[in-house]
C-alpha cells in the first residue's frame, strides 16, 4: 500500500508539472480579445512570451508581448534593435500601470544604459499601440512597419521598478536574467535564439571579477601571511622573501589586468555608475603600484631609514588587503552571481584567517621560547664566570 501511495503521489506531482508547463506555453495561450497570432515564442528569461503575425510583402508585423509576474509598481518593455544587439539603440514599446488604474503604453528610443525610458518616436512607424494588465500579467499590443527585408531582428525585453515619487520607469537590474534577456528573432520561420550567456560584456564582467578576486583578494593575503610568519623560521630565510615577492608581484600583475578590464567595462557602459567600487579600485591600483616602486627603494636592514620603510610597507600592504576584500564583496553585489561563488570566496577568507590566527600563536610561542633560551644562556654564562658550575648552554 505504501508503494502504491508513493506512486500515486508522484504521478499527481508529474501531472501538475505538465499542466503548469502547458499553461505557460505561448502556443496554448488564448487572448481574451479573441486576437489570433500565427507565431509565438516562449522567451527564456523574465517570464515573457512574444506572439506575432508577419506580412513579408509589407514588412509589417503585429505583435503581442506578454510579461507575467508583474506588479503594479513595475514597468515592462519589449524592443527591436535594428543596428546591433543589446539595449542601447533599441526601439522600445513600454507599458506600466498608473496609480488610477489606467495603463500607459508608449514608445521610447533607448540611447544609453541609464535611460529613463522617456517617451519618444521610434525609427520606424508604430500603430495600434495599447496594453492591458490583469492577473499580474502585462500585455503590449502594437503594429510595426519595419524596413524592407527586415525578416531577422535583434530583440530585447526587460522589466524594472517604477519610481515611488514620479511613477516613471526606474533603472532595471544589471545582473542575472536582466542582462540575458536579448536575442535574435526570425519573423518568417518563427525561430528565435537568445544571446549566449557568455556574450562579450557578461564575459568581461566575469573575467574582471575572477581576476580581481584571485589577485587582490587571495594572492595578496597569502603573500602577507608568508612574509609575517615564515620569516620566524630560520630555515626559511631567505626563501620566505622570494616567495613573498613572487606572490605579491603575481597578485599585482593579475590585479592590474583585472583593473584594466574594469576600466574598459566602465567606458562601454555609459550612464552606469558604481562610484564606490570604481573609486576603491583606483585607490588599490595606486597603492599597489606604490608598493612595487617602494620595493625597488627598499633600504638594507642596517640602514637608518629601514625602520620607517617597514612601517610604510606594512601599513600600505594591510590597507590594500582590507580595501581589496571590501571591494570584492561590492563586486559580488554588482555581478550578483550564484551564491556558491560568494560562499566559496568567504570560505577561502575564513581558511586564511584561521591559518593566520594559528600561525600568530605558534610563531609567538617560538619567539618567546627563543627569548627565554637566550636569557637562560646569559644567566648560565654569568654563573659560570662567577664559578658556580653553570650547565652547558642549551641543556637546561
Residues 167, 168, 171, 176: what is their CA dihedral angle, to the nearest 10 degrees? 70
Contact 161, 181 (CB under 8 A): no
Q: Is 313 known to sit in a ligand binding site?
A: yes
| Strand-by-strand arrangement of the 137-145 sheet | 39-43, 48-55, 60-68, 137-145, 126-134
Q: How confident is the model over 33-64, as pLDDT tens digits?
A: 788 998 888 998 999 999 999 988 888 899 99
- Residue identified by cell 508503494 is 3
Closest CA to 211 of 257, 245, 176, 158: 257
C-alpha cell read off for 24: 505557460
pLDDT (0 to 100) of residue 203: 79
Is 1 or 288 the better-scoring residue by pLDDT? 288
C-alpha cell read off for 106: 508608449
Contact 283, 291 (CB under 8 A): no
pLDDT (0 to 100) of residue 267: 75
Q: Which domains does the chain have, with CATH numbers?
A: 26-194 (2.60.40.1210), 200-375 (1.20.120.1770)
d(Cα 190, Cα 40) in Å, to the nearest integer? 7
Residues facing 143 on adjacent strands: 62, 127
pLDDT (0 to 100) of residue 391: 40
pLDDT at 23 over 50: no
Residues facing 63 on adjacent strands: 52, 142
d(Cα 196, Cα 99) in Å, to the nearest integer? 38
**Omega before 246 cis (within 30°)?**
no
Residues 209-223, mean pLDDT to the nearest whole number: 94
Q: Is 277 known to sit in a ligand binding site?
A: yes
Q: Is 314 known to sit in a ligand binding site?
A: no
Q: How confident is the model over 250-277, as pLDDT tens digits?
A: 999 999 999 999 888 877 665 566 788 9
d(Cα 296, Cα 299) in Å, to the nearest integer? 9
- Using pLDDT thresholds of 50, 70 and 90, give the confidence band for residue 390: very low
pLDDT (0 to 100) of residue 137: 94
**Which of these ranges, 4-8, 29-33, 110-114, has the smallest mean pLDDT?**
4-8
- Using pLDDT thresholds of 50, 70 and 90, give the confidence band for residue 115: confident
pLDDT at 189 over 90: no
Ranked by mean pLDDT, the top range of 2-11, 274-283, 331-340 is 274-283
Residues 304-312, mean pLDDT to the nearest whole number: 89
Local structure of residue 180 (DSSP, 8 states): T
- Using pLDDT thresholds of 50, 70 and 90, give the confidence band for residue 73: very high
Is 297 or 50 the better-scoring residue by pLDDT? 50
- Using pLDDT thresholds of 50, 70 and 90, give the confidence band for residue 383: low
Give the burial string for 245-261 (b: 16+ CB within 10 Å, else e).
eebbebbbebbbebbeb
d(Cα 172, Cα 152) in Å, to the nearest integer? 26
pLDDT (0 to 100) of residue 49: 94
Q: Is 208 known to sit in a ligand binding site?
A: yes
Closest CA to 233 of 372, 369, 353, 363: 363
pLDDT (0 to 100) of residue 270: 56
Give 309's contacts (C-beta < 8 A, 6+ positions apart). Answer: 294, 297, 298, 299
Sign of CA dihedral 276, 284, 324, 257: positive
Q: Quick check: helix, strand or coil at residue 32?
A: coil
Contact 88, 110 (CB under 8 A): yes
Residues 202-226, mean pLDDT to the nearest whole number: 91
Surface-to-core class of residue 64, CB atoms within 10 Å of its CB (0-12 exposed, 13-18 middle, 19+ buried): buried
Residues 342-353, mean pLDDT to the nearest whole number: 94
- Using pLDDT thresholds of 50, 70 and 90, give the confidence band for residue 125: very high
pLDDT at 16 over 50: no
Q: What percent of the chain has pLDDT over 90?
A: 41
d(Cα 331, Cα 87) in Å, to the nearest integer? 22
Is 219 or 116 the better-scoring residue by pLDDT? 219
pLDDT (0 to 100) of residue 381: 60
- Using pLDDT thresholds of 50, 70 and 90, give the confidence band for residue 163: confident
pLDDT (0 to 100) of residue 56: 80
pLDDT at 131 over 50: yes
d(Cα 368, Cα 362) in Å, to the nearest integer? 10
d(Cα 25, Cα 40) in Å, to the nearest integer? 9
Give 23's contacts (C-beta < 8 A, 6+ positions apart). Answer: none
d(Cα 308, Cα 299) in Å, to the nearest integer? 10
First-to-last alpha carbon distance for the chain, in angstroms, is 79
- Using pLDDT thresholds of 50, 70 and 90, give the confidence band for residue 95: very high
Closest CA to 89 of 113, 55, 120: 113
Average pLDDT, the chain: 83
Q: What percent of the chain has pLDDT over 70?
A: 84
C-alpha cell read off for 34: 479573441
Distances (CA, A) of 136 to 73, 80, 97, 348: 11, 24, 11, 42
Amino acid at each position: 500500500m505504501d508503494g502504491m501511495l508513493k506512486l500515486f503521489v508522484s504521478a499527481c506531482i508529474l501531472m501538475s508539472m505538465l499542466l503548469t508547463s502547458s499553461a505557460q506555453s505561448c502556443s496554448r495561450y488564448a487572448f481574451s480579445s479573441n486576437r489570433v497570432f500565427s507565431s509565438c515564442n516562449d522567451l527564456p528569461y523574465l517570464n515573457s512570451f512574444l506572439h506575432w503575425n508577419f506580412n513579408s510583402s509589407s514588412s509589417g508585423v503585429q505583435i503581442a508581448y506578454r510579461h507575467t509576474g508583474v506588479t503594479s509598481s513595475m514597468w515592462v518593455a519589449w524592443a527591436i534593435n535594428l543596428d546591433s544587439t543589446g539595449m542601447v539603440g533599441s526601439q522600445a514599446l513600454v507599458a506600466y500601470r498608473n496609480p488610477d488604474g489606467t495603463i500607459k503604453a508608449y514608445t521610447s528610443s533607448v540611447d544609453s544604459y541609464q535611460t529613463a525610458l522617456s517617451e519618444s518616436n521610434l525609427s520606424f512607424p508604430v500603430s495600434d499601440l495599447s496594453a492591458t494588465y490583469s492577473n499580474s500579467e502585462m500585455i503590449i499590443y502594437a503594429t510595426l512597419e519595419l524596413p524592407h527585408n527586415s525578416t531577422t531582428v535583434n530583440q530585447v525585453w526587460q522589466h524594472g521598478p517604477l519610481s515611488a515619487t514620479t511613477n516613471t520607469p526606474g533603472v532595471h537590474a544589471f545582473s542575472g536574467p536582466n542582462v540575458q534577456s536579448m536575442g535574435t528573432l526570425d519573423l518568417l520561420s518563427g525561430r528565435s535564439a537568445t544571446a549566449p550567456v557568455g556574450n562579450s560584456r557578461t564575459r568581461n564582467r566575469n573575467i574582471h571579477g575572477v581576476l580581481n578576486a584571485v589577485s587582490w583578494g587571495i594572492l595578496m593575503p597569502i603573500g602577507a601571511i608568508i612574509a609575517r610568519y615564515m620569516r620566524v623560521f630560520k630555515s626559511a630565510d631567505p626563501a620566505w622573501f622570494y616567495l613573498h615577492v613572487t606572490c605579491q608581484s603575481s597578485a599585482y600583475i593579475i590585479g592590474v589586468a583585472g583593473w584594466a578590464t574594469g576600466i574598459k567595462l566602465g567606458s562601454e557602459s555609459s550612464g552606469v555608475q558604481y562610484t564606490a567600487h570604481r573609486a576603491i579600485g583606483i585607490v588599490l591600483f595606486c597603492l599597489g603600484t606604490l608598493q612595487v616602486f617602494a620595493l625597488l627603494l627598499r633600504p638594507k636592514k642596517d640602514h637608518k631609514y629601514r625602520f620607517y620603510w617597514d612601517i610604510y610597507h606594512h601599513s600600505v600592504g594591510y590597507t590594500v588587503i582590507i580595501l581589496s576584500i571590501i571591494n570584492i564583496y561590492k563586486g559580488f553585489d554588482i555581478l550578483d552571481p550564484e551564491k556558491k561563488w560568494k560562499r566559496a570566496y568567504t570560505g577561502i577568507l575564513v581558511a586564511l584567517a584561521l591559518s593566520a590566527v594559528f600561525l600568530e600563536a605558534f610563531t609567538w610561542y617560538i619567539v618567546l621560547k627563543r627569548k627565554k633560551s637566550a636569557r637562560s644562556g646569559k644567566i648560565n654564562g654569568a654563573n659560570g664566570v662567577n664559578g658556580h658550575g653553570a650547565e652547558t648552554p642549551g641543556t637546561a
